[in-house]
Amino acid sequence: MIKTYIISEKFKPMEPISLILTALVTGAAETTAGSLVKDIYQNLKGLIKHKFADNSAANVILEEHEKDPETYEAPLKKKLIEEGIDKDKEVIKKAQELLEKLKPEEAATGKFNLTISGDVKGFVGDMSGGEINQTIS
Domain residue limits at 89: 2-135
- 80 vs 20: CA distance, rounded Å: 9
Per-residue pLDDT of 78-102, as tens digits, reads: 999 999 999 999 999 999 999 888 8
Mean pLDDT of the chain: 76
pLDDT of residue 22: 92
Contact in structure between 86 and 22 (CB atoms under 8 Å): no
Do residues 97 and 47 touch, judged by C-beta distance below 8 A?
A: no
Q: How confident is the model at residue 108 (pLDDT cuts 50, 70, 90)?
A: low
Say if CB 134 and CB 36 are below 8 A apart. no
Number of domains in the chain: 1
How many CB atoms lie under 10 A from the CB of residue 131? 8
Facing residues of 135 across strands? 2
What is the reported pLDDT for 34? 80
Between CA 24 and CA 18 the distance in angstroms is 10
Predicted confidence at residue 106, as pLDDT, reads: 65
- What are the helix (H) ranges across the chain? 16-29, 35-51, 56-67, 69-82, 89-102, 104-108
Whole-prediction pTM:
0.69
